[in-house]
Chain A
Amino acid sequence: MRTLIFLLRKEFLQIFRNKLILRMIFVMPVMQLIVLPFAANYEMKNILLSVVDNDHSEYSRKLINEFTSSGYFILSDVSPSYEKALKVIEDDKADLIVEIPRGFERDLVRDNQTKVMISANAINGQTSGLAVSYSNTIIKEFNNRIRAEWIQQPRLNPLPVVEITSNNWFNPKMNYKYFIVPGVLALLVTLIGFILTSLNIVKEKETGTIEQLNVSPIKKYQFILGKLIPFWILGMFVLILGFLISFIVYGIFPEGNFLIGFLFAGIYLIAILGFGLLTSTFAETQQQAMFIAYFFMMIFVLLGGLFAPIENMPDWAKYLTYINPVSYIIEVMRMLVLKGSGFTDLLKHFGIILLFAVVFNGLAIFNYKKTT
């Protein structure tokens, strides 16, 4: 116990002596947490619209008007031909072309049928999909209105209609920040904890100080705990700071019991630090440790469900997310912050993360050799 206290004191002295690192650990996450979530917005409001109106009729003008007044589209270009409009798309000055053919109004009235051509820049399949579905809705509504004008008499035999209403639970204002902030915070804490621990032991290897500890009667678990505890405290500190920022800047306050959140984050952090320590027992140089850290961090982050929903992944990728600690913290953070899930809802998550913590740290202790 006394040995551990001396080791802890040493780590803390070293951490607080390096002001540059300390500043980075606190300032960078805070800055990123304040700035980045504003970037995370899938809501399409400013779709750039290019219009090719070959009809110049009353209806064609009305239809274009429907687009521009919908709130989704901004008219950025009017081209005389489809080819010209295509060039505008190529230059990224427009996202979507609405092309109204000659005779649009005439065909509608005379032949009961007419058409409109929508062409979207589909490099990003997702945003273009949304843009196209907005324009579809606009055209359908426009169509219904025209129809209503022409079919004046009440229908004798009205058609059956399925009325759809929709509600958005847990985030009725559809605020994307509520979704992204907890995830970004979890990610930042993970990065910090992982980088610090994975590099720390390896640095002692590189400078040779670890040998001095290895010839002393320190127990393995004391050594690992001596590394784990300081970084755990540091990580929790960043986490608390992050929660404060989420509250002050974004007004996010956990729906659920935030003590449960801390408890979970605490265990999660132990798991991540354990993984960092495990990494450092494998690496000989900081450079190696860094690349191993980078490798796993990338995969953890990508398969963590922060940017792309896990349920859309193919099965093999889903299985990978089961052994990805990051996916659990992100999910739990969201469940707590937005859904107010309770301890019983999270029981499974607690069990799994506890298992991660035990396994990673156990392996780290096992794999840390006092011999060379």
Chain B
Amino acid sequence: MTNEIVIKTDKLTKKFGDFTAVNEISFEVNKGEIFGFLGANGAGKTTAMKMLIGISKPSSGSAEVAGFDVYKQTEQIKKNIGYMSQRFSLYEDLTIKENIQLFAGIYGLTDKEIESKGEALITKLNLQNESNKVVGQLPLGWKQKLAFSIAILHRPKIVFLDEPTGGVDPVTRRQFWDMIYEAADGGITVFVTTHYMDEAEYCSRVSIMVDGVITALDSPANLKKQYVAGSMEEVFIMLARKAKRGE
């Protein structure tokens, strides 16, 4: 693993009025890492992520994503990242193929690339028979896998996943993580928020956010050692219990 840094934040902060959603977080993410971004509901994960992907302006602090500044170069950032939100966000009234064409097209893939990569994607997900069905008819698990595949179709440097496996059965979750590993092996940095603690174990490193502040950041193995815990779940509960913010 090379040590190239692809995300770097320094005291990144987001305030909504009096409320500080994200409070001076600083961290670095290396290329090819699977970076787990953990926190209870309302801890500020999604807000932090939105600043990194360029759809929310930070209140103070600085950050660079893929070498670009989150204040001024949001459009360049957007060219270099993929994103999959916790709300499923493909067009439900378009077919699988049409969704692929749309998003691949937006990211500037050529017709040839769209054709070949789309074909490969459909084959890999075993959706040959469904490719002309509208996405709204697919089961949730398939939709999620499809959304992820489309988010990395243009080979972004980093893919941001916001609770990608919410509401999905364990088997599909496992398959989903296989896809994440494969993407990371291919050199795509994965930035993922989750509150499934078993998933945290799969990450190269995790950060745990409590009340807008990062309270721990290391590899799962180190964290368990540091907090003398048997699982990430125990680590998380130990830290999250101190939270003052509720749901």
Interface residues of A (CB under 8 A from B): 2-3, 5-7, 9-10, 13-14, 17-18, 207-209, 211-219, 370-372
Contacts and interface: CB of A to CB of B under 8 A. Distances in A.
Contact of B57 (A214, A219, A371): A371
Contacts of B55: 211, 214-215, 370-372
21 contacts: A2-B105, A3-B108, A7-B102, A7-B106, A14-B93, A207-B87, A208-B89, A209-B89, A209-B90, A212-B85, A212-B103, A214-B55, A215-B54, A215-B160, A216-B78, A216-B103, A216-B106, A216-B107, A217-B78, A370-B55, A370-B74
B99 to A, nearest CB: 9
Contact of A9 (B74, B79, B102, B108): B102
Contacts of A2: 105, 108
A3 B94 contact: no
A67 B217 CA distance: 98
A372 B50 contact: yes
Contacts of B90: 209, 212
Contacts of A208: 85, 87-89
Interface in B79-114: 79, 81, 83, 85, 87-94, 98, 101-103, 105-108
B56 interface: yes
A3 B109 CA distance: 10
Contacts of A6: 101-102, 105-106
B53 interface: yes
A10 B91 contact: yes
Interface residues of B, number: 31
Contact of A13 (B74, B89, B98, B108): B98
A10 B74 CA distance: 25
B134 interface: yes
Given A211-B55, A212-B89, A217 B101 contact: no
B89 A17 contact: no
Contacts of B107: 216-217
Nearest to B114: A6
B101 A371 contact: no
Nearest to B99: A10
Interface string B210-247: 00000000000000000000000000000000000000
B155 to A, nearest CB: 14
Contact of A17 (B53, B93, B160): B93
A216 B93 CA distance: 20
Nearest to B105: A6
B144 to A, nearest CB: 14
B91 A209 contact: yes
Contacts of A10: 91, 94, 98, 102
B56 A371 contact: yes
A217 B79 contact: yes
A248 to B, nearest CB: 35
Nearest to A370: B55
A178 B50 CA distance: 56
B106 A211 contact: no
B182 interface: no
Contacts of B103: 212, 216
A10 B89 CA distance: 14
B28 interface: no
A213 B151 CA distance: 11
A211 B106 CA distance: 14
Contacts of B102: 6-7, 9-10
B56 A13 contact: no
A13 B93 CA distance: 9
A297 to B, nearest CB: 26
Contacts of A9: 101-102, 105
A17 B136 CA distance: 13
Contacts of B10: none
Contacts of A219: 75
B85 A13 contact: no
A370 B57 CA distance: 10
B95 to A, nearest CB: 8
A7 B104 CA distance: 11
Interface in B39-65: 50, 53-57
Given A9-B102, A371-B57, A211 B85 contact: yes
Contacts of B105: 2-3, 5-6, 9
Given A13-B94, A371-B55, A3 B106 contact: yes
A218 B103 CA distance: 10
Contacts of A7: 102, 106
A6 to B, nearest CB: 3
A30 to B, nearest CB: 25
A14 B108 CA distance: 21
Contact of A217 (B50, B91, B92, B106): B106
A19 B160 CA distance: 36
Contact of B106 (A14, A17, A209, A218): A218
